Amino acid sequence: MGIFDRLRTVISSNVNDLINKAENPEKMLNQLLLEMNEQMVESKKAVAMAIADEKKLERETIENKTQASEWERKAVIAVKAGRDDLAKEALVRKQEFEGYHTQLSTQWQAQKASVEKLKDSLRQLQTKIDEASRKKNILIARAKRAEAQDKINKTMSSMSGNKSAFDTFERMAKKVDELEARTEAHAELEEATSGASLEKQFAELESSGAGADLLLAELKAKMITDGSGSSATAGGEPKA
Protein backbone atom coordinates (compact mmCIF):
# COMPACT_ATOMS: atom_id res chain seq x y z
CA MET A 1 0.00 0.00 0.00
CA GLY A 2 1.23 3.48 -0.87
CA ILE A 3 0.56 4.92 2.55
CA PHE A 4 2.81 2.31 4.17
CA ASP A 5 5.60 2.98 1.71
CA ARG A 6 5.35 6.70 2.46
CA LEU A 7 5.47 6.15 6.21
CA ARG A 8 8.43 3.81 5.92
CA THR A 9 10.28 6.43 3.86
CA VAL A 10 9.67 9.10 6.49
CA ILE A 11 10.75 6.92 9.39
CA SER A 12 13.83 5.50 7.67
CA SER A 13 15.13 8.97 6.67
CA ASN A 14 18.48 10.00 8.12
CA VAL A 15 17.46 12.12 11.09
CA ASN A 16 20.96 13.54 11.53
CA ASP A 17 20.84 14.94 7.99
CA LEU A 18 17.49 16.50 8.76
CA ILE A 19 18.92 18.10 11.90
CA ASN A 20 21.86 19.54 9.98
CA LYS A 21 19.53 21.08 7.41
CA ALA A 22 16.99 22.34 9.91
CA GLU A 23 17.17 25.86 11.28
CA ASN A 24 15.31 24.68 14.38
CA PRO A 25 15.96 20.94 15.05
CA GLU A 26 13.49 20.80 17.93
CA LYS A 27 10.71 22.27 15.81
CA MET A 28 11.51 19.97 12.91
CA LEU A 29 11.61 16.82 15.07
CA ASN A 30 8.27 17.71 16.64
CA GLN A 31 6.82 18.32 13.18
CA LEU A 32 8.30 15.03 11.96
CA LEU A 33 6.67 13.09 14.79
CA LEU A 34 3.40 14.90 14.18
CA GLU A 35 3.45 13.85 10.52
CA MET A 36 4.35 10.28 11.49
CA ASN A 37 1.40 10.06 13.87
CA GLU A 38 -0.96 11.61 11.33
CA GLN A 39 0.13 9.08 8.71
CA MET A 40 -0.18 6.33 11.31
CA VAL A 41 -3.82 7.30 11.83
CA GLU A 42 -4.42 7.11 8.08
CA SER A 43 -2.68 3.74 7.94
CA LYS A 44 -4.88 2.41 10.72
CA LYS A 45 -7.94 3.54 8.79
CA ALA A 46 -6.69 1.72 5.68
CA VAL A 47 -6.05 -1.46 7.68
CA ALA A 48 -9.48 -1.17 9.30
CA MET A 49 -11.07 -1.02 5.83
CA ALA A 50 -9.08 -4.08 4.77
CA ILE A 51 -10.28 -5.94 7.87
CA ALA A 52 -13.87 -4.92 7.11
CA ASP A 53 -13.52 -6.27 3.56
CA GLU A 54 -12.11 -9.50 4.91
CA LYS A 55 -15.04 -9.88 7.32
CA LYS A 56 -17.49 -9.18 4.51
CA LEU A 57 -15.93 -11.85 2.31
CA GLU A 58 -16.06 -14.28 5.21
CA ARG A 59 -19.77 -13.66 5.73
CA GLU A 60 -20.50 -14.02 2.00
CA THR A 61 -18.48 -17.23 1.83
CA ILE A 62 -20.39 -18.73 4.73
CA GLU A 63 -23.70 -17.51 3.30
CA ASN A 64 -23.09 -19.15 -0.10
CA LYS A 65 -22.11 -22.41 1.55
CA THR A 66 -25.29 -22.27 3.58
CA GLN A 67 -27.35 -21.61 0.43
CA ALA A 68 -25.71 -24.55 -1.34
CA SER A 69 -26.60 -26.83 1.54
CA GLU A 70 -30.16 -25.48 1.58
CA TRP A 71 -30.73 -26.18 -2.16
CA GLU A 72 -29.36 -29.69 -1.70
CA ARG A 73 -31.91 -30.21 1.07
CA LYS A 74 -34.65 -28.97 -1.25
CA ALA A 75 -33.48 -31.31 -4.01
CA VAL A 76 -33.80 -34.26 -1.62
CA ILE A 77 -37.31 -33.17 -0.75
CA ALA A 78 -38.23 -32.92 -4.46
CA VAL A 79 -36.84 -36.41 -5.17
CA LYS A 80 -38.86 -37.85 -2.30
CA ALA A 81 -41.94 -36.16 -3.68
CA GLY A 82 -41.34 -37.62 -7.13
CA ARG A 83 -40.55 -34.19 -8.58
CA ASP A 84 -37.31 -34.85 -10.38
CA ASP A 85 -37.80 -31.69 -12.40
CA LEU A 86 -37.74 -29.60 -9.22
CA ALA A 87 -34.87 -31.67 -7.90
CA LYS A 88 -32.84 -30.85 -11.01
CA GLU A 89 -33.56 -27.13 -10.63
CA ALA A 90 -32.54 -27.28 -6.98
CA LEU A 91 -29.31 -29.07 -7.82
CA VAL A 92 -28.48 -26.44 -10.44
CA ARG A 93 -28.98 -23.69 -7.83
CA LYS A 94 -26.88 -25.69 -5.40
CA GLN A 95 -24.11 -25.90 -7.97
CA GLU A 96 -24.24 -22.13 -8.54
CA PHE A 97 -23.90 -21.36 -4.83
CA GLU A 98 -21.08 -23.87 -4.48
CA GLY A 99 -19.26 -22.06 -7.29
CA TYR A 100 -19.76 -18.71 -5.56
CA HIS A 101 -18.57 -20.26 -2.33
CA THR A 102 -15.40 -21.58 -3.96
CA GLN A 103 -14.56 -18.21 -5.54
CA LEU A 104 -15.36 -16.23 -2.40
CA SER A 105 -13.43 -18.65 -0.21
CA THR A 106 -10.30 -18.12 -2.33
CA GLN A 107 -10.70 -14.33 -2.14
CA TRP A 108 -11.41 -14.49 1.59
CA GLN A 109 -8.27 -16.50 2.33
CA ALA A 110 -6.16 -14.12 0.23
CA GLN A 111 -7.69 -11.07 1.95
CA LYS A 112 -7.21 -12.67 5.36
CA ALA A 113 -3.50 -13.27 4.65
CA SER A 114 -3.15 -9.70 3.39
CA VAL A 115 -4.80 -8.32 6.51
CA GLU A 116 -2.42 -10.26 8.75
CA LYS A 117 0.57 -8.79 6.87
CA LEU A 118 -0.91 -5.30 7.17
CA LYS A 119 -1.43 -5.75 10.90
CA ASP A 120 2.17 -6.88 11.31
CA SER A 121 3.45 -3.92 9.28
CA LEU A 122 1.31 -1.57 11.33
CA ARG A 123 2.74 -2.94 14.58
CA GLN A 124 6.29 -2.52 13.27
CA LEU A 125 5.62 1.05 12.20
CA GLN A 126 4.08 1.87 15.55
CA THR A 127 7.16 0.48 17.27
CA LYS A 128 9.42 2.66 15.15
CA ILE A 129 7.33 5.75 15.82
CA ASP A 130 7.45 5.05 19.56
CA GLU A 131 11.23 4.63 19.34
CA ALA A 132 11.55 7.89 17.41
CA SER A 133 9.48 9.64 20.04
CA ARG A 134 11.76 8.36 22.81
CA LYS A 135 14.86 9.45 20.90
CA LYS A 136 13.49 12.90 20.16
CA ASN A 137 14.67 14.53 23.39
CA ILE A 138 18.12 12.97 23.04
CA LEU A 139 18.46 14.24 19.48
CA ILE A 140 17.28 17.72 20.50
CA ALA A 141 19.82 17.81 23.33
CA ARG A 142 22.58 16.75 20.94
CA ALA A 143 21.57 19.42 18.47
CA LYS A 144 21.60 22.10 21.17
CA ARG A 145 25.03 21.02 22.40
CA ALA A 146 26.35 21.11 18.85
CA GLU A 147 24.85 24.55 18.32
CA ALA A 148 26.35 25.87 21.57
CA GLN A 149 29.77 24.43 20.70
CA ASP A 150 29.57 26.00 17.26
CA LYS A 151 28.83 29.41 18.78
CA ILE A 152 31.75 29.05 21.19
CA ASN A 153 34.08 28.06 18.37
CA LYS A 154 32.97 31.03 16.29
CA THR A 155 33.41 33.40 19.24
CA MET A 156 36.88 32.06 20.00
CA SER A 157 37.81 32.34 16.33
CA SER A 158 36.64 35.92 16.10
CA MET A 159 38.44 36.86 19.32
CA SER A 160 41.71 35.25 18.30
CA GLY A 161 41.59 37.20 15.07
CA ASN A 162 40.95 40.49 16.83
CA LYS A 163 44.21 41.36 18.61
CA SER A 164 43.13 44.93 19.30
CA ALA A 165 40.52 43.63 21.76
CA PHE A 166 43.16 41.75 23.75
CA ASP A 167 45.49 44.76 23.59
CA THR A 168 42.72 46.89 25.06
CA PHE A 169 42.31 44.44 27.92
CA GLU A 170 46.04 44.57 28.59
CA ARG A 171 46.05 48.37 28.68
CA MET A 172 43.08 48.42 31.01
CA ALA A 173 44.80 45.91 33.29
CA LYS A 174 47.90 48.13 33.50
CA LYS A 175 45.78 51.18 34.27
CA VAL A 176 44.02 49.32 37.06
CA ASP A 177 47.39 48.21 38.46
CA GLU A 178 48.62 51.83 38.44
CA LEU A 179 45.44 53.05 40.09
CA GLU A 180 45.73 50.45 42.83
CA ALA A 181 49.38 51.37 43.40
CA ARG A 182 48.56 55.07 43.74
CA THR A 183 45.74 54.30 46.11
CA GLU A 184 47.96 52.13 48.30
CA ALA A 185 50.71 54.78 48.33
CA HIS A 186 48.27 57.48 49.35
CA ALA A 187 46.92 55.32 52.17
CA GLU A 188 50.42 54.48 53.36
CA LEU A 189 51.43 58.17 53.36
CA GLU A 190 48.30 59.14 55.25
CA GLU A 191 48.97 56.50 57.85
CA ALA A 192 52.57 57.60 58.25
CA THR A 193 51.57 61.24 58.65
CA SER A 194 48.89 60.47 61.24
CA GLY A 195 51.31 58.34 63.27
CA ALA A 196 54.00 61.08 63.48
CA SER A 197 51.49 63.64 64.72
CA LEU A 198 50.21 61.26 67.39
CA GLU A 199 53.71 60.46 68.63
CA LYS A 200 54.53 64.17 68.84
CA GLN A 201 51.47 64.80 71.03
CA PHE A 202 52.43 62.00 73.43
CA ALA A 203 56.02 63.30 73.58
CA GLU A 204 54.80 66.77 74.57
CA LEU A 205 52.47 65.30 77.20
CA GLU A 206 55.24 63.20 78.72
CA SER A 207 57.60 66.20 78.68
CA SER A 208 55.03 68.37 80.43
CA GLY A 209 54.42 65.79 83.18
CA ALA A 210 58.13 65.32 83.90
CA GLY A 211 58.63 69.08 84.41
CA ALA A 212 55.88 69.29 87.00
CA ASP A 213 57.37 66.39 88.97
CA LEU A 214 60.74 68.11 89.01
CA LEU A 215 59.29 71.37 90.31
CA LEU A 216 57.41 69.54 93.07
CA ALA A 217 60.54 67.71 94.21
CA GLU A 218 62.50 70.99 94.36
CA LEU A 219 59.78 72.62 96.46
CA LYS A 220 59.76 69.78 99.02
CA ALA A 221 63.57 69.88 99.36
CA LYS A 222 63.47 73.61 99.98
CA MET A 223 60.81 73.22 102.66
CA ILE A 224 62.91 70.64 104.53
CA THR A 225 65.95 72.87 104.38
CA ASP A 226 64.04 75.87 105.80
CA GLY A 227 62.51 73.73 108.58
CA SER A 228 58.99 74.53 107.56
CA GLY A 229 58.42 71.06 106.32
CA SER A 230 58.43 69.55 109.86
CA SER A 231 55.42 71.52 110.97
CA ALA A 232 53.13 70.33 108.21
CA THR A 233 51.25 67.10 107.82
CA ALA A 234 50.36 65.35 104.70
CA GLY A 235 47.02 67.18 104.84
CA GLY A 236 48.70 70.59 105.48
CA GLU A 237 47.37 71.04 109.14
CA PRO A 238 49.85 72.08 112.00
CA LYS A 239 50.59 69.50 114.74
CA ALA A 240 49.17 70.13 118.36
What is the mean predicted confidence (pLDDT) over 11-23?
Answer: 54
Final residue before a domain boundary, out of 161, 186, 213:
161
Say what the pLDDT of residue 71 is. Answer: 95
Residues in CB range of 97: below 8 A, 6 or more apart? 64, 65, 67, 68, 71
Do both 129 and 223 map to the same domain?
no
Query: Does one domain contain both 105 and 35?
Result: yes
Do 102 and 203 belong together in one domain? Answer: no
Domain termination site, one of 161, 182, 207: 161
Q: Three-state DSSP class for 233?
A: coil
The pTM is what? 0.51
Same domain, 140 and 40: yes
Tell me how many domains the chain contains: 2
Instruction: With a cut of 90, say whether residue 68 has pLDDT above it.
Output: yes
Residue 240 within a domain: no
Where in the sequence is the domain holding 129, given as residue range(s)? 2-161
pLDDT digits (tens, 9 = 90+) for 84-130: 999 999 999 999 999 999 999 999 999 999 999 999 999 998 898 88
- Is 167 part of a structural domain of the chain? no
Q: Are residues 124 and 15 in the same domain?
A: yes
Q: For residue 165, give every residue at least 6 positions away whose Cβ sits within 8 Å of its Cβ, in sequence order, or none.
A: 159
Judge if 139 and 187 occupy the same domain.
Answer: no
Tell me: do 9 and 93 sit in the same domain.
yes
| 7: region left, alpha or beta (phi > 0 left; psi from -120 to 50 alpha) | alpha
Residue 233 is predicted with a pLDDT of 44
Neighbours of 22 (CB within 10 A): 15
Single out the residue of 34, 35, 31 nearest to residue 23, CA to CA: 31
Please say which residue of 161, 187, 207 terminates a domain: 161
Question: 214 with 95, same domain?
Answer: no
Give domain status of residue 74, yes or no: yes
Q: Report if residue 97 sits inside a domain.
A: yes
Highest-scoring range by mean pLDDT, 56-60, 141-145, 164-168 = 56-60
State CA 156 to chain mean position distance. Answer: 26
Mean pLDDT to the nearest integer, 202-223: 72
- Are 11 and 33 spatial neighbours (Cβ–Cβ below 8 Å)? no
pLDDT digits (tens, 9 = 90+) for 53-63: 999 999 999 99
